[in-house]
Each structure stands twice: as C-alpha cells, then as structure tokens.
Amino acid sequence: MATKVRINLCNLQELLELPGLSSPQAEAIVKFRAEHGPIRDSNQLAAILGAWPVPEALRDNADFSPAESTAPEAPGA
C-alpha cells in the first residue's frame, strides 16, 4: 500500500483497502464516526471493532491524524 488510509476521512470502500478489515468492521467504523466523530488512535479502533487486537499491518496502514474537514457522515459536517 503506497499511502495510508485516513481513517477519519475515507469512505467505506477505502476502508476495505486496509489489510484484514472486513466489510462489517468497516461499516462499524463509519457508524462510529457518524455518531461520535473522529477516531483517535488504534486503541479506540480496537474498541470499536469489538476489542480484537488491531493487526500490525492494519495499524501500519491507518492514518488517524486530524484533518481540516471531517467525513460527510460526521457530526457537524
């Protein structure tokens, strides 16, 4: 993967580019963002996905950095 996936800005299809992430897990991320706003880090991501350990490959390809804008489904967008 050449670039990291921006967890807080990407759409469902882009989330599925993360290694080891299933469709239901990607949907859980989108739902969480819509209800609670941005995801802070891989620990919060693990909690959202049911406390499973976030695999290193997924963690290495995820970008949790803040952005100037939010995903369309986020509160206040």
Domain count along the chain: 1
- Residue 46 within a domain: yes
Query: Percentage of the chain with pLDDT > 70?
Result: 81
- Residue 73 within a domain: no
pLDDT in tens, 23-57: 999 999 999 999 999 999 988 999 998 866 788 88
- Residue 70 within a domain: no
- Residue 68 within a domain: no
- Residue 17 within a domain: yes
DSSP of 8-77: TT--HHHHTTSTT--HHHHHHHHHHHHHH----SHHHHHHHTTSPPPPHHHHHHEE----SS--TTSTT-
pLDDT of residue 50: 82
**Mean pLDDT across 7-30:** 92
Average pLDDT, the chain: 83
